[in-house]
């Protein structure tokens, strides 16, 4: 079931836990893309002070693929992730999640959609310090008033290499172990899509490689759909596809990204953003950059 990838291979002696048993059921999923943004606009504020975070974005995320989203700071990456996952509302346009237009959902429907279909992994892990790793993993179900499937929880923990850490609190775990707990928490509900926001931003290079290798194998071996925001070209090289944002727009869409290729693209966008800001400062009535 492995898909082709140009992800860096694990270094000699590095063991990655067996993720093959995390077999994602495709049952109940609609055909077509996992998520699609259609003419998506997100503005913060109005009038002269409006920030155009997403400018008519059109993009589809296929099932079972690992996509990285890159771009300069402030280009709209997190906003896209928040709107796609139903954490934030669009100003206009549509988001089709499993074929359902979530821009028509009310708050309660969005909460249920997120709870049942979306897994989140954050840079800062966002574990609850007073609870054990096991309690943290089960938290999305506990909050929903559901009992965790013990067998599934232990299989996740074993496959992520944290089974012997389940009774520990986050402060007693390394950063890499905490992020593995967060990955297990993201998967406990069998989500259709996992969103990872800078998942390796707080990790050293070895732990980063382990976490990225796990996400890669999750996609290859279980068909999980993963969408990851990252500033790191080396992290993007683990993905099947990388999208580059600039000023609220997609400016590049690359299959099989490489670290070198993504570094060059992101540097180019940083330069373009800095140049646009400099010319706007020189001619303040010329309008926003990129228009």
Ligand X SMILES: Nc1ncnc2c1ncn2[C@@H]1O[C@H](COP(=O)(O)OP(=O)(O)OP(=O)(O)O)[C@@H](O)[C@H]1O
Q: Which residues bind ligand X (CB under 6 A)?
A: 44, 51, 53, 71, 73-79
| Closest to ligand X by CB, 189 or 273 | 273
b (16+ CB within 10 A) / e for 105-141: beeeebeebbeebbbbbbbebebeeeebbbbbbbbbb
CB 128 within 8 A of CB 203: no
In whole angstroms, the minimum distance from the beta carbon of 75 to ligand X comes to: 4
CB 163 within 8 A of CB 154: yes
In whole angstroms, the minimum distance from the beta carbon of 229 to ligand X comes to: 7
| Closest to ligand X by CB, 67 or 75 | 75
Q: Which of 244, 241, 212, 263 has its CA nearest to residue 8?
A: 212
In whole angstroms, the minimum distance from the beta carbon of 212 to ligand X comes to: 18
Residues 6+ apart with CB under 8 A from 151: none
In whole angstroms, the minimum distance from the beta carbon of 177 to ligand X comes to: 25
Q: SS3 for 19? A: coil
In whole angstroms, the minimum distance from the beta carbon of 157 to ligand X comes to: 31
| Closest to ligand X by CB, 82 or 94 | 82
| Closest to ligand X by CB, 52 or 114 | 52
| Closest to ligand X by CB, 169 or 249 | 249
């Amino acid at each position: 079931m492995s898909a082709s990838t140009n992800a860096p291979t694990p270094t000699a002696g590095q063991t990655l836990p067996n993720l093959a048993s995390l077999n994602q059921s495709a049952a109940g999923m609609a055909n077509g893309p996992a998520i699609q943004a259609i003419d998506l606009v997100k503005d913060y504020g109005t009038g002269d002070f409006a920030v155009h975070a997403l400018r008519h974005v059109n993009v589809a995320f296929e099932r079972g693929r690992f996509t990285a989203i890159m771009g300069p700071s402030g280009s709209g990456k997190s906003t896209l992730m928040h709107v796609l996952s139903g954490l934030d509302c669009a100003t206009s346009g549509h988001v089709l999640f499993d074929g359902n237009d979530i821009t028509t959902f009310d708050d309660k429907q969005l909460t249920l959609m997120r709870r049942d279909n979306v897994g989140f992994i954050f840079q800062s892990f966002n574990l609850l310090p007073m609870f054990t790793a096991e309690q943290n993993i089960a938290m999305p179900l506990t909050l929903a008033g559901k009992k965790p499937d013990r067998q599934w929880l232990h299989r996740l923990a074993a496959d992520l290499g944290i089974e012997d850490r389940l009774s520990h609190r986050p402060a007693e775990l390394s950063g890499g172990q905490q992020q593995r707990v967060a990955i297990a928490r993201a998967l406990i509900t069998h989500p259709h899509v996992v969103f990872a926001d800078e998942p390796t931003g707080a990790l050293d290079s070895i732990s980063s490689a382990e976490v990225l290798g796990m996400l890669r194998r999750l996609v290859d071996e279980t068909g999980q759909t993963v969408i990851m925001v990252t500033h790191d070209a080396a992290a993007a090289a683990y993905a099947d596809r990388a999208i580059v944002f600039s000023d609220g727009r997609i400016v590049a869409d690359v299959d099989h990204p490489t670290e070198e290729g993504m570094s060059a693209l992101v540097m180019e966008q940083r330069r373009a953003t800095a140049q646009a800001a400099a010319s706007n400062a020189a001619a303040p009535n010329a309008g926003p950059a990129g228009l």
